[in-house]
Amino acid sequence: MKGALDDFKLMLTRNEPITGLAKVVAFLVLFALGVVAGLWVSAGIRRSQESIVTRSIGFQGSGGGICCRPDLDPGFEEFVAPTRLMHDMTDEELFWRATLVPAAASRYPFERVPKVAFMFLAGHGVLPLAPLWERFFRGGHEDRFSIYVHSPPGVAINVSEDSPFYGRQIPSQETEWGSVTLVDAEKRLLANALLDFSNERFVLLSESCIPVHNFTTVYDYLVGSRHSFVESYYRNDRGCRNRYSRSMAPDITLRQWRKGSQWLELSRDLATSVLADTRYYPLFRRHCRPSCYPDEHYVQTYVTLRHGMRNSNRTVTRVEWRAGRSHPVTYGARDATPELVRSIRTSAEPCAYNSRPTSTCYLFARKFAPDSLAPLLNMSSTVMHY
């Protein structure tokens, strides 16, 4: 399959119509067969406990009018919101399928409650702060979020069966700090999350991230935002300008080059657009190598280039940098004080939210060490309201 895709890409660049075209046709037919087979198989899967129907509470329709039978067909239900996340699709197959967009997107034949997809990149296969997140997620919000975890292949996250993290690992591949494999993992998380048609906002998190506001606040903030939160800036310095490679021109010029935090948040259509991009991504794969780090440049540059107006250009995940250090500050048990968390919850410098100034600029923060868990749990209800 990978070979066929490479041929396809080659054909696009080289313009070899006859043999190339035959391959493309074969390629598309294979995919179509795969999708049909997938639908057919999933139709046979028994109805799962997590029912779409339970998600309908409080939903004020998005102009539908064709809603909804009380008992959805189980196969259809599994198709619109997969409950079993493991599959054998290659990245190419997965990304292609994830970018299928319903032409009648405003008329869902089921009660669609927009959800926030929390996507965890667990580089070491552990989530030491999971107990804090479990508190954040509890309290009857099940219909408004979904969780996805990318950990190293073969590493099972150790959580109990009643944890919202249970069974939420996606098929993964090895990642290496600073390499394009991190962007691939990000795209894999986005793609798996896109398979659930109710996911509307997509936030990327690490194992050292914490939520500094409660679920309601986070949900309303993200779902109500007209912009995505991808930090994006340009600086005429070593860390930004010097990472640009002239080989990326003319597709990406120095004027278009951007940098920003890896920890981003995307709306559904921007997430789809990132996965659908076949023009810019290969340039990063080829030309953005250490000391250029694709996770700090690719989505940031792409979103600014193609969807600049839709982006807030800031991140909702706060991190502290100190001058002269190449890594951000890590907070241990002694640093994780109510004062620190309050200062993150309410920013001294205002930022813009839907074009109005606000002091709520950050919903999440990093980097918190495993031993900060106890003090954080101790203050979760008094300081963070969850």
Ligand X SMILES: *[C@@H]1O[C@H](CO)[C@@H](O)[C@H](O)[C@H]1NC(C)=O
Residues that bind ligand X in the complex, under the rule CB under 6 A? 158, 213-214, 216-217, 227, 304, 308-309, 311-313, 352, 374-375, 378, 382, 385
Q: Shortest gap between Cβ of 344 and ligand X (angstroms)? A: 12
Q: Shortest gap between Cβ of 362 and ligand X (angstroms)? A: 13
Residue 96 vs 215, nearer CB to ligand X: 215
Answer whether 202's CB lies under 8 Å from 237's CB.
Answer: no
Q: Shortest gap between Cβ of 243 and ligand X (angstroms)? A: 18
Residue 192 vs 261, nearer CB to ligand X: 261
Q: Shortest gap between Cβ of 108 and ligand X (angstroms)? A: 27
CB-based burial label for 21 (10 Å; 0-12, 13-18, 19+): exposed
Residue 176 vs 371, nearer CB to ligand X: 371
Q: Shortest gap between Cβ of 244 and ligand X (angstroms)? A: 16
Residue 294 vs 375, nearer CB to ligand X: 375
Residue 15 vs 382, nearer CB to ligand X: 382
Q: Shortest gap between Cβ of 133 and ligand X (angstroms)? A: 15
Residue 359 vs 378, nearer CB to ligand X: 378
Cis peptide preceding 179, ω within 30 of 0: no
